[in-house]
């Protein structure tokens, strides 16, 4: 385990939060639950039939987890009232609310909405759309949020670049082709998240196939515009672009290609122009450099809900749970 991940876990322990893991019929979730409880990272709520979960968890020590069954939960009527109130503009009926709460994702999100839990982690079984839909419907976006986005914390071993190899890559999972204003919001939100989670200063590079006008194309124009908007929105942060990847992180290349930039050669927050570049980029680094890729971490929802990759391991769930607990602090 990396030193950085140890730091995250220690910070999570300092102010322990309650995290819902609604995919309790998946063995990886149960394995993660054992580790989270053993390491005292968070209080865990599992959602589902208690007998079925205990049977599936045979050989695992999960007795410290709270197991809530949507069909018999004592506060189910209160949850229904909350759902009906939140979705009244859509005409949600009590009967429909009871039906929705049979879904562990809606049940988990409603627990977070009611402050019976501090955050939720799911996606080992469910798609990103399925995880985020109830979150956006019930918890809704944080004040001032222009676009809900995501990022990966990339921890690259033996890396001389960034913050000792710790980077944020965004947006790798949610926004297919953000426009300039959306890209600017993603940049500023990721800078805030990076600072909150790492306690280090973000240095934000708006990535492109061009550096400071070396190529002409509408895609470059979008990044140039996004950079100007982001600098205005996030005046407290170092933000610059457009920058090629090498100019963003390699000091000698940054000095050569963008000598007037205080970001070039020093970036630790990398904002990709679209989801294709970002998703391919993080997976290349993860596989070729054997980097830890923690995420995707969601930003812009009023309370922390994070989506996992369906190819995740139990240790990935533990890491994202620790980060979710830290976000909740």
How large is the average pLDDT for residues 168-195? 93
Tell whether the model's pLDDT for residue 108 goes beyond 90.
yes
pLDDT band at 250 (very low <50, low <70, confident <90, very high): very high
183 near 189, Cβ under 8 Å? no
DSSP 8-state code for residue 142? P
Its sign, for the CA torsion 321, 197, 113, 116, is positive
Number of other CB atoms surrounding residue 322 within 10 Å: 26
Instruction: Give the residue-averaged pLDDT of 1-29.
Output: 88
The helix/strand/coil state of 292 is: strand
What's the pLDDT at 22? Answer: 95
- Residues 262-271, mean pLDDT to the nearest whole number: 95
pLDDT score of 83: 86
pLDDT level of residue 1 (50, 70, 90 thresholds): low
* Cα–Cα dist 286/292, whole Å: 6
Angle at 263 between CA 246 and CA 201, to 5 degrees: 115
pLDDT band at 15; cut points 50, 70, 90: confident
More confident residue, 215 or 289: 289
In this prediction, residues 125-142 reach a mean pLDDT of 88
Residue 238: predicted pLDDT: 96
Integer CA distances (angstroms), 156 to 11, 114, 248, in order = 21, 38, 16
Average pLDDT over residues 100-125: 93
Does pLDDT of 268 surpass 90? yes
| Dist. CA 113–CA 147, nearest whole Å | 20
d(CA 177, CA 273): 7
Supply 155's token pair. 């921890």
Separation CA 159–CA 166 (nearest Å): 9
As a whole number, the mean pLDDT across the chain is 91
Position 196 confidence tier, pLDDT thresholds 50, 70, 90: confident
How far CA 177 is from CA of 153, 216, 231, 244, 307, in Å, comes to 21, 19, 20, 18, 20
Average pLDDT of 24-36? 95
Q: What is the pLDDT of residue 86?
A: 85
pTM of the model: 0.82
Mean pLDDT of 139-159: 89
Q: Mean pLDDT, to the nearest integer, of 216-236?
A: 93
pLDDT higher than 90, residue 103: yes
**φ, ψ (nearest 5 deg) of residue 81:** -60, -40
List the beta strands (DSSP E) in the chain: 18-21, 43-47, 66-68, 119-122, 149-155, 166-170, 203-207, 238-243, 269-271, 292-299, 305-307
């Amino acid at each position: 385990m990396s030193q950085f991940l140890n730091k995250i876990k220690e910070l999570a322990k300092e102010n322990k939060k309650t995290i819902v893991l609604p995919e309790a019929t998946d063995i990886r979730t149960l394995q993660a639950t054992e580790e989270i409880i053993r390491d005292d990272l968070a209080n865990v709520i599992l959602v589902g039939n208690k007998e079925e979960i205990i049977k599936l968890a045979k050989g695992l020590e999960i007795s410290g987890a709270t197991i809530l069954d949507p069909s018999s939960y004592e506060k189910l009527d209160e949850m229904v009232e909350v759902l009906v109130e939140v979705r009244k503009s859509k005409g949600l009926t009590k009967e429909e609310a009871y039906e929705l709460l049979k879904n562990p994702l809606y049940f988990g999100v409603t627990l977070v909405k009611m402050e019976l839990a501090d955050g939720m982690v799911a996606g080992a079984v469910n798609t990103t759309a399925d995880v985020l839909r109830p979150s956006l419907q019930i918890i809704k976006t944080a004040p001032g949020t222009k676009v809900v986005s995501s990022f990966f914390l990339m921890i690259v071993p033996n890396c001389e670049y960034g913050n000792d190899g710790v980077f944020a890559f965004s947006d790798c999972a949610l926004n297919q082709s953000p426009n300039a204003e959306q890209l600017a919001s993603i940049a500023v939100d990721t800078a805030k998240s990076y600072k909150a989670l790492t306690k280090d200063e973000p240095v934000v590079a708006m990535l492109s196939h061009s550096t400071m006008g070396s190529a002409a194309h509408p895609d470059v124009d979008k990044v140039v515009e996004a950079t100007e908007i982001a600098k205005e929105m996030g005046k407290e942060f170092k933000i610059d672009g457009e920058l090629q990847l090498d100019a963003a992180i390699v000091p000698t290349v940054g000095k050569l290609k963008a000598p007037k930039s205080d970001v070039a050669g020093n970036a630790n927050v990398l904002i990709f122009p679209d989801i294709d570049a970002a998703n391919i980029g993080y997976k290349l680094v993860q596989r070729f450099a054997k980097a830890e890729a923690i995420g995707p971490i969601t930003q812009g929802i009023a309370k922390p809900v994070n989506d996992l990759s369906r190819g995740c391991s139990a240790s990935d769930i533990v890491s994202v749970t620790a980060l979710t607990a830290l976000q909740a602090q």
